[in-house]
């Protein structure tokens, strides 16, 4: 069983990423790396794998969203060539915080990213992980929820966001 990807483009994010095709392909290659063994993927373990794989490809790990001393210590997961990545395998309540990180990193004078990439898992991934491998992903944010909610934030979130759903 191999990991496969589902995608959703908000505010023309796919077109922006296609202008950085090598970066887009690199993200997809990391997320579908054949060394990723689904049966071993607890939430913490999957984060550890990505924390190893992305920096190995030159991605900055945990860059600060704000630059000023005394500003909140919000961090993105990865940053490279004006593409920010947030990996959210945690609770669905984190969606607002994650989307605001992308927005603030794009606007508000920070101008660090042109596009955000939001990596989450699908309902099917979570179901298979529990039923076949005994891994509890219940309560995690899902691709389906992000793609359902994101269009409702169009007045607040102007940055393009490419949503990637990890699926099996």
Are the C-beta atoms of residues 33 and 53 closer than 8 Å to each other? Answer: yes
pLDDT of residue 12: 96
- The residues near 79 (Cβ < 8 Å, ≥ 6 apart) are 59, 60, 63, 85, 112, 113
C-alpha dist (Å) from residue 28 to 41, 87, 96, 150, 164: 18, 13, 24, 21, 9
Q: Tell me the C-alpha distance between 73 and 52, whole Å.
A: 22
pLDDT of residue 1: 82
pLDDT of residue 70: 65
pLDDT of residue 167: 97
> What domain count does the chain have?
1
pLDDT along the chain (168 residues), means of 10: 94 97 98 93 94 97 80 85 96 89 79 95 96 92 96 91 97
pLDDT digits (tens, 9 = 90+) for 124-138: 999 999 999 999 998
Boundaries of domain holding 74: 4-167
CA-closest candidate to residue 155, choices 8, 7, 10, 9 = 10
**pTM exceeds 0.85 for this model:** yes
CATH number of the domain where residue 127 is located? 3.40.91.20
pLDDT of residue 78: 97
């Amino acid at each position: 069983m191999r990991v496969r990807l589902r995608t959703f483009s908000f505010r023309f994010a796919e077109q922006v990423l296609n202008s950085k095709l090598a970066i887009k392909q690199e993200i997809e290659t990391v997320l579908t790396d054949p060394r990723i063994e689904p049966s071993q993927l607890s939430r913490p373990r999957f984060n550890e794998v990505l924390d190893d794989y992305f920096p190995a490809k030159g991605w900055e790990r945990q860059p600060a969203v704000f630059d000023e001393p005394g500003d909140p210590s919000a961090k993105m997961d990865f940053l490279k060539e004006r593409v920010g990545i947030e990996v959210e395998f945690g609770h669905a309540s984190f969606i607002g915080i994650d989307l605001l990180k992308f927005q603030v990193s794009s606007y508000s004078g920070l101008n660090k990213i042109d596009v955000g990439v939001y990596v989450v898992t699908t309902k099917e991934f979570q179901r298979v992980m529990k039923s076949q491998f005994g891994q509890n992903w219940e309560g995690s944010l899902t691709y389906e929820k992000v793609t359902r909610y994101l269009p409702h934030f169009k007045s607040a979130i102007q940055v393009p966001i490419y949503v990637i759903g990890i699926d099996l």
